[in-house]
């Protein structure tokens, strides 16, 4: 019998991962909003990646619903809502899921899987992590704009699904301990508000040294606090996390020479925080940079750079400045460190 896989929160990540699994022959139900259902019922799904994949799912081959009832007979549920929606997702899923269903949180941030676990005591809830970027280009087109794997917490319950992910071209990388992976991804995600405030594609933003210095400031602050707390982030990139701020601060010619992999990114790709600001949605900044501020508070310390980024994004969410120049943002963040 075919496994039934449900995607709860079909947006950029959900449609891309779920769509690729559907192309690979899996039985997939996408659960999302009516506006996207209507779009996909018209256009189907078009999935591309930076390595040249070009896949289509016709509208009549898609199962996209707006209610959670479909998860009742699912063997696997991938939760891909933004962090602000996790608590609701947990409550909705708790009403319908059968005991023993495997649920993977493929979300950024540190606390989403824990929140789901609290709501889903009879299910197997695992932490996951998406290392690559996906952009919604409209008209049912979702594009993977950077390289990277799908990471997941090691658990025997994952075994029956490994083949499906591999067939979809999204092999799972299992980790005995996901916490170092999540902290390392969090360090990379500290760039999300900077990218959103730059109003530039990621590749253009990273090609400007002033913006890279902003990222380095946010990461250095995060790394210092993690060290004080005894947290050792995993090595997700060719360089260990401690070296990345040095690479970012390098002159652009040297950065280009050394950071080929970091720049192997689609020229149009942007952070999902930029997409949230564009769509007038509340961003995930509290679940990303907010984790650094909370870590500092726990130890009686401060995280002024990340706190300032949160403030600027909060302002941008309600119509504040969204087109920062690199030098201006750098001055703003340096001022924050002077109190």
Do 260 and 285 contact (CB within 8 A), yes or no? no
Place of tokens 């899996």: 26
* Near ligand NAP by CB under 6 A: residue from 26, 31, 244, 259: 31
Is 134 a binder of ligand NAP (CB under 6 A)? yes
Do 53 and 142 contact (CB within 8 A), yes or no? no
CB of 186 to ligand NAP, least distance (A): 10
Tell me the per-residue interface mask from 212 to 251 with ligand NAP, x by CB under 6 A, - otherwise: ----------------------------------------
Tell me the per-residue interface mask from 53 to 92 with ligand NAP, x by CB under 6 A, - otherwise: ---------------------------xxxx-x--xx--x
CB of 130 to ligand NAP, least distance (A): 4
Residue of minimal Cβ distance to ligand NAP: 11
Helix axes 209-228, 191-198, angle to 10 degrees: 160
Sign of CA pseudo-dihedral 31, 35, 36, 40: positive
Q: Considering the complex, state which of residue 49 and residue 332 has its C-beta at the smaller distance from ligand NAP.
A: 49
Q: Considering the complex, state which of residue 70 and residue 81 has its C-beta at the smaller distance from ligand NAP.
A: 81
Strands (E) in the chain, as ranges, are 4-8, 27-31, 45-49, 54-57, 64-65, 76-79, 102-105, 124-130, 134-138, 141-144, 150-153, 172-175
Q: Considering the complex, state which of residue 21 and residue 336 has its C-beta at the smaller distance from ligand NAP.
A: 21
Place of tokens 């917490």: 153
Is 9 a binder of ligand NAP (CB under 6 A)? yes
CB of 37 to ligand NAP, least distance (A): 10
Alpha carbons 149 and 4: distance in angstroms, whole number: 22
Q: Considering the complex, state which of residue 219 and residue 283 has its C-beta at the smaller distance from ligand NAP.
A: 283
CB of 269 to ligand NAP, least distance (A): 8
Alpha carbons 111 and 258: distance in angstroms, whole number: 33
CB of 113 to ligand NAP, least distance (A): 11
* Cross-strand pairs, 124: 102
Q: Considering the complex, state which of residue 64 and residue 161 has its C-beta at the smaller distance from ligand NAP.
A: 64
Tell me the per-residue interface mask from 280 to 309 with ligand NAP, x by CB under 6 A, - otherwise: -x--x-------------------------
Number of shown-chain residues binding ligand NAP (CB under 6 A) = 25
Is 270 a binder of ligand NAP (CB under 6 A)? no
CB of 157 to ligand NAP, least distance (A): 21
How distant, in Å, are the alpha carbons of 11, 99, 197, 305 from that of 80? 7, 20, 24, 28
Q: How far is CA 314 from the centre of its chain?
A: 19
Q: What is the DSSP letter of 147?
A: -
CB of 84 to ligand NAP, least distance (A): 8
Q: How far is CA 29 from the centre of its chain?
A: 21
CB of 10 to ligand NAP, least distance (A): 6
Q: For residue 144, what are the contacts with CB-CB under 8 A and spacing of at least 6?
A: 16, 47, 48, 49, 50, 53, 132, 133, 134
CB of 110 to ligand NAP, least distance (A): 11
Q: Considering the complex, state which of residue 47 and residue 336 has its C-beta at the smaller distance from ligand NAP.
A: 47
Do 29 and 5 contact (CB within 8 A), yes or no? yes
- Interface residues with ligand NAP (CB under 6 A) are 9, 11-14, 31-33, 36, 80-83, 85, 88-89, 92, 107-108, 130, 133-134, 272, 281, 284
């Amino acid at each position: 019998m075919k496994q039934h896989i449900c995607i709860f929160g079909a947006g950029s990540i959900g449609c891309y991962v779920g769509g690729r699994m559907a192309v690979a022959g899996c039985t997939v139900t996408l659960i999302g909003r009516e506006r996207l259902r209507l779009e996909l019922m018209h256009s189907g799904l078009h999935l591309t990646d930076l390595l040249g994949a070009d896949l289509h799912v016709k509208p009549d081959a898609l199962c996209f619903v707006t209610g959670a009832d479909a998860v009742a007979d699912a063997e696997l549920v991938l939760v891909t809502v933004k962090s602000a929606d996790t608590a609701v997702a947990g409550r909705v899923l708790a009403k319908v899921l059968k005991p023993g269903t495997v649920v993977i949180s493929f979300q950024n941030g540190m606390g989403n899987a824990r929140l789901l676990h609290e709501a889903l005591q009879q299910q197997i809830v695992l932490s996951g992590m998406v290392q690559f970027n996906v952009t919604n280009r409209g008209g049912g087109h979702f594009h993977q704009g950077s390289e990277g794997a799908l990471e997941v917490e090691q658990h025997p319950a994952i075994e029956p699904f490994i083949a499906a992910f591999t067939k979809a071209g999204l092999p799972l990388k299992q980790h005995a301990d996901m916490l170092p992976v999540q902290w390392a991804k969090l360090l990379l995600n500290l760039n999300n508000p900077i990218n959103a405030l730059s109003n530039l594609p990621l590749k253009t933003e990273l090609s400007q040294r002033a913006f890279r210095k902003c990222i380095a400031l946010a990461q250095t602050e995060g790394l210092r606090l993690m060290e004080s707390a005894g947290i050792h982030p995993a090595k997700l990139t060719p360089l260990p996390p401690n070296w990345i701020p040095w690479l970012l601060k390098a002159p652009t010619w040297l950065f280009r020479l050394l950071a080929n992999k970091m720049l192997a990114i689609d020229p149009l790709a942007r952070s999902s925080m930029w997409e949230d600001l564009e769509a007038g949605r509340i961003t995930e900044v509290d679940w990303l940079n907010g984790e650094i501020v909370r870590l500092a508070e726990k130890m009686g310390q401060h995280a002024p750079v990340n706190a300032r980024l949160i403030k600027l994004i909060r302002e941008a969410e309600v119509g504040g400045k969204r087109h920062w120049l690199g030098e201006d943002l750098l001055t703003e963040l340096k001022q924050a460190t002077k109190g």
